[in-house]
Structure 1
Amino acid sequence: MQAVSTIHVKEVKGGNFLTPKGFLAAGVEAGVKNDKKDVGIIISEVPANCAAVYTTNQFQAAPIKVSKESIAKEGLIQAVIVNSGCANACTGEQGLQDAYETRSLVAQKFNIKEHLIAVASTGVIGVNLPMEKIADGIKQLNPGNEQENAVAFQTAILTTDTMMKTSCFTAEINGHTVTMGGTAKGSGMIHPNMATMLAFITTDANVDQSGLQAALSEITETSFNQITVDGDTSTNDTVFVLANGKADHESLTPEHDDWPVFVELLAMTCESLAKQIARDGEGATKLIEVEVKGAVNDLDARMIAKQIVGSSLVKTAVYGADANWGRIISALGQTKTAVNTENVDISIGSIEMLKGSVPLTFSEEAALEYLQKDFIQIFVDLHNGDSSGKAWGCDLSYDYIKINASYRS
């Protein structure tokens, strides 16, 4: 897929998923969780072309099945209803009926056709939805376009997250200003493909649905599928993109001259959200970025980067500010990709530690100072080709065990 210089895409400071034209949102406390917002909705003023990607976990939750059915009807979605606190996963026929009922309740409340509604849930697996509480929450929803509406929705989708994730970018496309915003939740059970994450991306671009789906599927491989927190995948993971055409330009297809600009807009939005999810890993204190270059192809580079950033030994070394490059090369050696073991370079930040597979003398004090920062970069050069790739993760702290040992209580 052709890329374009990011000079065409600008970040909107303070923007969010309601910044694009024609979107509303709400979030309320329905009692699914104790004293926290737990039911939220995003609504487009008009049906929007929709693309989605889902977890590859074989136990896909009921909401995914219902959302797939909705999107398959026309490729359009006008509302996404979300609850946290209960995943409605591994809940059998009752869980599926509850997801359908949730969709139906939204259709009745907002006078939207059922097949234009997608459903998402996140929380504990194997527990049925408390439908009376869900129904009550839907009745309370009063969507708007203000900052407080965005915050209410973002709060309603969180589980063990410690922060809201949001992004917003804009670009000139076909002579019109096009805006894209996004929000996501995700903190643990993050290991593509994909993660215990939900992401919602809105744009006022007028874009062909099949092209949108192809772009999202490809970009997911270099963004959401390149993050890892703990090596576990979940049952509910979904990314939705809604494009409602409110920017009022001619329809974008892959053949359009400005298609690369739209692709870059989507790529930057997805990468921003993915990195925020990785940074908010359960118990995390640092974001880790691994960049691998000199690979035979991009896929090899991405897989090696993910292997390194997902290594528990690398993650704990970063947490402890220990410049133990041996853990990095050990993780590299576990990949299934052929590596020239006689010619590998490794750096942590700007500090070179291995050159041509020969250890270098470096300042331990400088390495300690760097590793105490909250953003750590690891660079690996394989000298095998011209391809590169990145992956993102976080350190592994004592708090990760505390959080997950008591998740249901």
Structure 2
Amino acid sequence: MENKPPMETIVEEGEKYKPRKYKLNNWTDKVEDVRDILSPKKCPDRKAFSSGKAKGLNLLNKFEQSGDREKNMSSESLSSSRCWKSDNEMKPKTPPASACHDHNKAGQELCYVCLQRAQQNSPLYYSEERRRREIEEERLIQQYQMLKDQDTFFKHQMKSLANREQNQKNAAYNLGVAEAVRIHKNEKPGFYRSFLFDKRPFSPEIKALKQEEHIQGLLKQINTRREKEIKQRENKELMERLEQVQLTEELAAQRAKYIQDKMEEKECYKRALDAQIKNRFPQLPISEPDSFEPIFGRDEAELMVETRKRELNCMRQQQEAAASHKRKAILNHLVDQKRDLLMLQKTQQQHLADRDAELERVNKMNQSLQEDWKRSAEMKRQRDWEQKDFERAPDKLFLLDQCDKYQRCKQCQRSTSNGGHSHQWPLKKPLQGSRLFV
């Protein structure tokens, strides 16, 4: 067993190696932890080392028996592994160490395959690249933040300039308004806003002693104002009376002139009639009959008969027109009544249908509310029962809680006793006791 060549491992590149359900950074951290744990300083037990070495050799023999598949790998991966091996030979080799039996997680968080890979493969560290990428991202973020700050500052400056212009306009407008108000206040008013007493006495030193004088001055002022108003009223009444007298005199003069003109016109008519009487013609001669037969009224009977017929026809036509008009009015009234009746019936039917639909909707809504309430009550009762069952249930009831006692590899998520076997069914598998291949 010692003369067999050591097992060669294939270096898995950082771009192609993607462990199942695990990230690269966590993988490198775990490899460092495993190397620290498996260092000879932390595992001084010789017996454990020898037993671990024997177990590793037995597993190597198993791998060699079933390792024909690994010999058919690509030349590129083998060349990369040889390069890694040549580089690794130049480095000082650390003696393999076994796991401690007293510590549960001293390498046992990884399966055998992952543990061997962690011991023999050279891990790839991306800390420098990650650090450079982070520095570049920070630089880009800072540049973007600077551009954003400059844009914000420019917008704020434009806004402040616009506010400044608006404030200047408002200040100019307010200044103009204030100047106009001041000029208006300084103008001399058309009437006196204050009132001065007539012969106002001097201001008293003690108001209590001079109050009577002020009262007398105010009463005098009131009296003068009242006298002035009375005088103005008297003058106004006098002027109105004079205007009435003048109007009366003008009306009397107009009446006298009208009567005089009427009398003159009457005299003129009288003189004209007298002149006509004096100058009229003599009387007409006496009339004598010149015909012995009647001249007028001979064909009046025929005309009266025709007139009578025409009047009867006109009356008959008028009666027929009145009867037809009355008949049409009655028919129209009946049609309107029938249409109104149909409209009322249709409106009543629609009202009944709307009321039935509203009652049906209310009933359906009540039924749905009752069903929802029953369903909610049943769900609440079911939740209470489940809660009580859950509280009465013992520990380790769920599958996830029961799976805690089974340890798995932290990298490939397989069992810690994994020795490289696969869960896939091979294409050719020999069966015991048969020569057939399935």
TM-score using structure 1 length: 0.16
Q: Greater relative contact order: 1 or 2 (C-alpha under 8 angstroms, separation 6 or more)? A: 2
TM-score using structure 2 length: 0.16
